[in-house]
Amino acid sequence: EADIYQTPRYLVIGTGKKITLECSQTMGHDKMYWYQQDPGMELHLIHYSYGVNSTEKGDLSSESTVSRIRTEHFPLTLESARPSHTSQYLCASSGQGLETQYFGPGTRLLVL
C-alpha cells in the first residue's frame, strides 16, 4: 500500500470558487506529479516537481497552479473553478531512477 494521500476525495463546488486539492506522501520521494483523468480516457500530466521549490507545467494546459514548499506536500490550486475543470485529479510520487510512480486515490471534482 503506497503512502500517498489526497484530500478531499470528492468535491462539489460552484463556479468561481477557489479550491485547493491536497496531496502528501510519506515516502520521502523527490518527484511528485499531478494528473488529470476524464472517464475512459488516458491520464494527462498537468504539473510535476523534481523537489522542493521546483515546479513545472506538464503536457496538458491547465489553469491550476502548484507549490512545493515541503518534500512531502504538493498542493494544487484552482483560483476560479469552472465546469470545464470537472474531472478526476490524481497525485503521484516517485523516487530515483526507474522507480515506479505511486498514485494517490484521487480527487473527483465537480464544478457546477
Partner 1 sequence: KNQVEQSPQSLIILEGKNCTLQCNYTVSPFSNLRWYKQDTGRGPVSLTIMTFSENTKSNGRYTATLDADTKQSSLHITASQLSDSASYICVVADRGSTLGRLYFGRGTQLTVWP
Q: How is 26-59 classified by DSSP, letter by letter?
A: SS--SEEEEEEE-TTS--EEEEEEEETTEEEE-S
Angle at 16 between CA 15 and CA 22, to 5 degrees: 95
String of contacts with partner 1 for each residue 50-79, x by CB under 8 A? x-----------------------------
11 interacts with partner 1 by CB under 8 A: no
Residue with cell 516537481: 49
Residue with cell 521546483: 54
Residues in the chain: 112
Span near partner 1 by CB under 8 A; candidates 14-22, 70-78, 79-87, 90-98: 90-98
27 interacts with partner 1 by CB under 8 A: no
Rule CB under 8 A: choose which of 7, 20, 86, 101 binds partner 1: 101
Q: Is the Cβ of residue 19 or residue 92 nearer to partner 1 in the bound state?
A: 92
DSSP-assigned letter for residue 58: -
The residues that touch partner 1, with contacts defined as CB under 8 A, are 2, 4, 31, 40-45, 48, 50, 90-92, 98, 100-106, 108
